[in-house]
Structure 1
Amino acid sequence: MAWTPERLQLLLTQLRSTAVDFTHLEVREASKGCPDLKETLSAFGNAPEGGTIILGINHIDGFRVTGVEDPASLEALVTSQARTSVTPKVQVACEQLSLDEKAVLIVKVEGLAPTARPCRTTQGQLAYLRQSDGQYRISEPETQQLVNSVDRPRQDTRPVDETSIADLDAQLSAAFVAAARATSRRLSEVSDEEVLRFKRVLEPQGGRLTLAGLYALGRYPQQFEPHLSITAVLEPAGNGVPVRVEFDGPLPDLLDSALEWIQHNIRAGIPSGSPEPSPLETEASQTAVRELITNALVHRDLSPHTNGKNVEMRLAAGRLTVSSPGGIWGLSKDQLGWPGAKASVNEFLYEICKFTGAESAERVVDGESCGLCEVRRVLDNAGLRRPEFTDNGVRFTASIPLGSSLTAEDRQWLGGLRVGAQLSEIQKQLLVSMRQGQAWTATLAQSEFGLFDSAEAQEVLQGLVTAGLAHAPGKGNTYVITALSSAASPAIGPVPAGNSPALVGSAPDTGSTRLLTATPIRIPEPIKTSKNAAAILRELGSEPLEVTDISEKTGLTANQIRYALSPLLTSGVVVREGGQGHKITTYSRADF
């Protein structure tokens, strides 16, 4: 996505709220010349997705825009550093942008191909990785992780010395053998030991357990591999003291313990003053949380270079973060969470987990579904921002919000808008952000909230325009809030005769249609509906349906359904039971 002033302004708002840089991004002061970037270039070169450097921002002084004096000369100096200060050299692409009437230089650093890593500084031959808001010097085991990431992982089949079939959990292994036999005629005709050997729980020749077999079905895997565990940290909202716990046992036990811990502590991780329960507290959402943890446990790097590194969970600052050793294999970060994006890092462990049960689910792994797709779906239904995925080359991190970013004050303000109750959660967050000075484009909204495409994002923004809450000034596609004196209480209903200004205008010579604001701000009759409204109305009847039910019947995404329902609810064509804060919300036709 190209950089725009709106995108940069949103980024600065996020940086100021967290007070630190991000793993994939670094901002630097450059008003007095080009800073030394070799460590940052090395770290981003070693990251599969690279990273971005923004020059002209003072991160010490509240991320204030200080600008750069000569962007063209600075670009030349940065390009020179990318060629000469690190080896192999890294590719950079620069953009110049103006914000607050000051020039800012944005540098996109491309990650090196796996075969070219590690990227080292020319002086000293030091390699760096990015972690949180800074670089750190890479260790020798991490160097080997980068080198080994070229080939398909096969560490899960490695035999574990001093183990035998006696180290398996009897109940888990018996259930596994029965489940495996039930799906294969050939396996149904062989002995228990042969099933375990064919499925690589046991090594092909000999009596040792494989690492996959020990990890998934062992009585106590940590006896032989202590790092096959979970560390969980709770940082309570406010000034609470962090609480750290460790979980052990076979993989199914780790999964169950982690889920129980999150469910018990989730409220403590939400910032104080949040009036809404977390969508992740509902029973349905626990499936998504389970998938997030399962992904970390099953797809972690099992190579000897990760000894001493376990899976980590953290509840802090209104987010759940799950981190595991190793990076993404066989996929790009942008493919994660979308249908069709599946790649097993530990192929045999994955297969074993398809036949292994846990207290929280019949199977640890559902081979037919996309785990991270489920995470996206739950956040989508709740109107929350997209999950954040980070791969620095040796560690993969997934982070999801525990709840809405809206405060009690924000919701009180929204409650004063007559149409506030009809807005989707994403529309509410967009409107509050506009109130704070942020402008939005469809592309920016799509990226920030993980919407399906820019057309869906455009529909979200147009809904705010239709309600008289936002407008797109001039001929651009940038949306800002409408003056509150006009938008605070927009009327719902027909516009009086003789005073019906059009709310739909055609952009000259483009063939596209864009909603514009007008005065008075009222929704005309007949009410404008989404292109998907007809499909939804065909499925709605007297029996109430949830969004997931409508999605199954129509093939539409949850956001498409929500935005199509909004004007239907406003006009009274559709009625809703439940709403924000309720575990179940249903919709039905009012005329049945």
Structure 2
Amino acid sequence: MTSIMTMKGTKQLIKELRAAGSESTEVEVKSGLHGFPKSALETMSAFANGSGGTILFGLTDKTFRPVKGFDAQRVHDAVSNAVRAKLTPHPAVELSVEEFEGSRVVRADVEEMPYFDKPCFVGSKGAYGGSYIRIGEGDHKLSEYEVSQLRDNRVQPGYDREPVENGNQETLNSQAVENLLEKARVRTPSAFAGVDTRIALKRLNVTTESTRRARPTLAGLLALGVYPQEFFPQLNVTFVAVPGTSLGEVDAGGVAFTDNQSFNGPIPSLITASVDAVRRNSNRAAIITGEGRTDVYDYPDVAVREAITNALMHRDYSSYARGIQVQMEMYTDRLEIRNPGGLYGGVRVEELGRVFTSSSRNAALAKLLEEVEMPRTGSSVCENRGSGIARMAYAMEKAGKAAPEFRVTPTSVTVILRHAPVGATWGARRGDREDPGDSAAVPVAPAMMPTPSGALVAAGEPVQVGTVASAARRGGARGSDARTTGPRAPEEAAVSWRDSSHEHELIEFMSRWRGPVTSQRVQDALCLSQSATNRLLRRMIDAGHVVPTAPPRSHHRAYLLADNLARVRASRRAATS
């Protein structure tokens, strides 16, 4: 039962309904003038499959006034009988008859069904035709996939142990397999030391049997395969970077995606490619200390890595979902990572990150990923201890960012990371923090304060030295900022630096280069994507700071600073005079 239902009295609920002028996600009103309405069965199913809720019988659905002629006792008894006879399984419903404005109403508090009993459905319609969920103020029938997800919660799914049709040992990466076996022999010698390779792979759930013709399991293919998408093309990761805060927004040039990619390969490669993509499309800052330079990005690598690892490890791999990718959407204010499949094993959204839960939908895959190595680092893909979300939250807090958010439906889980700093102030420089006694204070990222020329400042001072997402993604640039000199208030410096960081960098780079530079050299020097580089150059040309050396589609097109071009022309005139 949701806390709102247990805390609020009937009069308070009706007062809120009247103030809002409509029903809510937690409260439904039924007239009941002609007895028990059949639609109440759908509402009780919806509340039981969701977070619980309350039905009030004996009120009008427009003004929420008592219904004249309402027989409260008759409806009370009908509701009690219907719960037992017409709903499967029977939800827990607390019934009461209460006095209200000179009349009587029937209140039915429907408790949420335990996860291992869901879905609750109207018996005459069956599970796939009579299961409902509450969305807004209405009851909506669950899809076949949604019902299957709820039913999978009752048992340990075995989709990750299924054999891959037409697969064989050659579909696995031999080096990755050897690394796995070596680690297994060291960690558990009693099970793997001196054991035939085929038997060891069967015990590790990499293959389905210990014969030469053994086929890899889905878990084995995903963790160790050369190219799993040969068999399951959609079991990959898609990534888009959007120049706004919602899909469909376009930038000034009509571009809908500043980056749009599909990552393929086994899970370790998918994780690496995903983290790299977020870095590539993030703002980058550098902190210069006596020990050297440290790059800092919008989203901590640890948080992104844990989020994408969880998505790939805990996603639904049933036949219903094998056509759905893990999706990454990067907006100007947040990163969203969405996987098919709701929460598994009774985990509640409010518990995520607060308790270590290692309930895994894909037990064989999760166990295997404990031993499989990541490229570049050689560390394991995961710990499989239920601590991933806690590490994600800690990394965000340490970077001064908001805690991860979660959006959960019966068929998906979305992790939302926001890059805006929490409690950051322009006084928080050199790693300083606000008073720890301030309840709103959290560790914050150092403020980014450039010099007017955009050059690096004294050691220990952070400077934003490059971004991968263009300034257009952040709301455009102001060409005049590149020429601004003199002191400015910290707030003004913050705005202009965010808007013009690329212009400063480009001018500084081209000043050092002096001769014509190609767009590829700019792209490499500023760590930008190709589309971001092209937009930056167009803005600088429009502002009169940069001059192209050839027409737009020429292979010989390069770029000069306007000041450099003036010097070149003056030098030529002097040489010919």
TM-score range, shorter chain: 0.5 to 0.7
**1:165: how far off?**
0.3
1:196 and 1:202 in contact (8 A); partners too: yes
Higher alpha-carbon Rg: 2
**1:218: how far off?**
0.8
For residues 114 and 385 of structure 1, do their structure 2 counterparts lie closer, same or farther at Cα, with a shift above 3 Å needed?
closer
Which residue does the alignment assign to 2:48?
A: 45
Q: What are the residue-to-residue correspondences of 1:121-520 with 2, within 5 Å?
A: 121=122, 124-125=125-126, 126-128=129-131, 130=133, 136-186=140-190, 187-206=192-211, 207-235=214-242, 236-237=244-245, 240-241=249-250, 243=257, 245-265=261-281, 281=297, 285-316=300-331, 318=334, 320-329=336-345, 331-359=347-375, 361=377, 362-367=379-384, 370-381=387-398, 382=400, 384-385=402-403, 387-388=405-406, 390=408, 392=410, 395-404=411-420, 421-422=434-435, 427=440
Residues 526-555 of structure 1: per-residue CA shift (max 9 Å, x gap): xxxxxxxxxxxxxxxxxxxxxxxxxxxxxx
For residues 193 and 116 of structure 1, do their structure 2 counterparts lie closer, same or farther at Cα, with a shift above 3 Å needed?
closer
Tell me whether 233-242 or 253-262 shows the greater mean CA deviation: 233-242
The alignment's TM-score, normalised by the length of structure 2, stands at 0.52
1:280 and 1:402 in contact (8 A); partners too: no
% identity of equivalent residues: 24
**1:162: how far off?**
0.8
The alignment's TM-score, normalised by the length of structure 1, stands at 0.51
Q: 2: distance between equivalents of 1:28 and 1:262? A: 41
Aligned residue type for 1:46:
N
For residues 373 and 106 of structure 1, do their structure 2 counterparts lie closer, same or farther at Cα, with a shift above 3 Å needed?
farther
For residues 366 and 130 of structure 1, do their structure 2 counterparts lie closer, same or farther at Cα, with a shift above 3 Å needed?
same
**1:250: how far off?**
1.0
Q: 1: distance between equivalents of 2:63 and 2:435? A: 42
Query: 3-state DSSP class of the match of 1:301?
Result: coil
- Which runs of no fewer than 5 residues in structure 1 stay unpaired? 56-65, 96-104, 269-278, 430-579, 581-592
Query: 3-state DSSP class of the match of 1:42?
Result: helix
1:297 and 1:324 in contact (8 A); partners too: no
1:43 and 1:127 in contact (8 A); partners too: no
Residues 255-284 of structure 1: per-residue CA shift (max 9 Å, x gap): 12222233334569xxxxxxxxxx99367x
For residues 355 and 51 of structure 1, do their structure 2 counterparts lie closer, same or farther at Cα, with a shift above 3 Å needed?
same
Q: What are the residue-to-residue correspondences of 1:50-65 with 2, within 5 Å?
A: 50-52=51-53
**1:128: how far off?**
4.4
1:222 and 1:248 in contact (8 A); partners too: yes
Q: 2: distance between equivalents of 1:201 and 1:111? A: 38
Q: What are the residue-to-residue correspondences of 1:93-104 with 2, within 5 Å?
A: none
Q: 1: distance between equivalents of 2:31 and 2:441? A: 41
Q: 2: distance between equivalents of 1:290 and 1:108? A: 42
For residues 293 and 153 of structure 1, do their structure 2 counterparts lie closer, same or farther at Cα, with a shift above 3 Å needed?
same
RMSD, aligned α-carbons: 5.1
Which residue does the alignment assign to 1:439?
A: none
2:311 and 2:337 in contact (8 A); partners too: no
**1:203: how far off?**
1.5
2:201 and 2:210 in contact (8 A); partners too: no
**1:76: how far off?**
6.8
**1:202: how far off?**
1.4
**1:26: how far off?**
2.0
1:45 and 1:111 in contact (8 A); partners too: yes
2:282 and 2:298 in contact (8 A); partners too: no
- Which runs of no fewer than 5 residues in structure 2 stay unpaired? 57-61, 97-105, 251-255, 285-294, 443-493, 495-577
Tell me whether 241-250 or 85-94 shows the greater mean CA deviation: 85-94
Equivalent pairs counted in the alignment come to: 379
**1:136: how far off?**
4.9
For residues 193 and 130 of structure 1, do their structure 2 counterparts lie closer, same or farther at Cα, with a shift above 3 Å needed?
same
1:280 and 1:286 in contact (8 A); partners too: no
Query: 3-state DSSP class of the match of 1:189?
Result: coil
Aligned residue type for 2:25:
E
